[in-house]
Amino acid sequence: MLDRELAGVIAEFRPETGAVEEVFVNQNGQSTLKLGQARGVCLLALARAGLSVAEYAPTLVKKAIVGTGGAEKAQVQAMLKVLLPGVKLAGADAADALAVAITHAHLNRGI
């Protein structure tokens, strides 16, 4: 399902590159495993489309969006609303993905 949906998004919007957040280990091993599996599907879909992929540590994403690598998720979401007025975040995962995309765009200006 994730692979098919991501392939559809790539086909529709034809991005030039992709970006993902690096894996982090949290307290729940089951959650970490599921996150790693989903991340693997994303990496495969991007590679299959021939896209280069950048990876960013969660602390770098938080620093790029909020200004500090120790920011809380709520702070990141609040800043996304400042950076993109009118945006309706479809949950924490969507906010994280948008933050990674903004980080990637910010760090790769002029390339």
pLDDT of residue 32: 84
User: What global pTM score does this model have?
Assistant: 0.87
pLDDT for 110 equals 56
Residue 111 pLDDT greater than 60, yes or no: no
Decide if pLDDT at 105 tops 70.
yes
Model confidence at 81, pLDDT cuts 50, 70, 90, reads: very high
State the average pLDDT over residues 24-49: 88
The answer to whether the Cα torsion of 79, 100, 63, 31 is positive or negative is: positive
pLDDT for residue 33: 87
**Are 55 and 22 a contacting pair, CB within 8 Å?**
yes
